[in-house]
Structure 1
């Protein structure tokens, strides 16, 4: 049975959002559906996936999904994983080339999002990989966001990382 591209995108994103690895594998390997085929909303399976499912992320990325795909708001799957607090999924994405320094339309990097959501483990993972000098469209760095939200533990973590990166550059 030959699926239209929109139907293929709908089915692929539906399987990804349910975390159905078996169905995803069948579609990718038997039906040869490209992992970046979009659904009727213009979203790929990686954008629509069950975010906590590292097996879904691995399967899609192993089959060539674009780890840096952005939606109309500039949000990447890395932003989504940071927002939801799924550090394991984020680690998989980074292993497959996802940039943690891509900004969304507000200028926020995934680390800005993780700080706002209070996901300390995600911030710990992102801090050494992120451009800590980057300012969002409001002029806030990740450290500024942590200070504004009065998160002393995150402020300390980011200050240590910032100092460490300065020493490394010297």
Structure 2
């Protein structure tokens, strides 16, 4: 099966090959063209390479597109803990309140994985972090507790008391 331009872009983005991606982007009118697996170059991009995300977003990639599980690149970035890439996504208006199919926002995933630095960062950008519950009724703090992420639990509880006068 011959690779399409979208497949080639996705491969370059996933490898973190900025030079090849720049060349391929000059040949396509649609940076969000899905590859043969139904995902865009931004959705499969190497999350630890913020320059890849920046290039795709500058060329018009939609940071809020979701895959079949409801995940956006923001969810993946929060789950992986790449704050530099997260900053770029937010600079290009990625929606921190997008929910995956389970009702999790990015903050839920960062808390579940124990990425305290990401939790602290996302709290600054998520208005509903104290009250948002996923489909199981869990808050980010509940998930952190469930996965034994004690540093995240302590930080969220401390900040919940400071901001709302109570616990989470």
TM-score (norm 1): 0.88
Structure 1 residue 19 corresponds to structure 2 residue 16: yes
2:157 aligned counterpart, secondary structure: helix
Bigger fraction of residues in helix: 1
Instruction: Give the total of aligned pairs.
Output: 162
Aligned residue among 33, 37, 42 for 1:41: 37
RMSD of aligned Cα (Å): 1.8
TM-score (norm 2): 0.89
- 2:80 — aligned with what? 84
TM-aligned CA deviation for residue 146 of structure 1: 2.1
Separation (CA, whole Å) in 1 of partners of 2:150 and 2:34 = 41
Runs (4+) off by over 6 Å: none
Q: Which runs of 5+ in 1 are unaligned?
A: none
Q: Which deviates more, 36-45 or 120-129? A: 120-129
Separation (CA, whole Å) in 1 of partners of 2:19 and 2:29 = 14
Structure 1 residue 9 corresponds to structure 2 residue 14: no
Structure 1 residue 141 corresponds to structure 2 residue 139: yes
Q: Which runs of 5+ in 2 are unaligned?
A: none
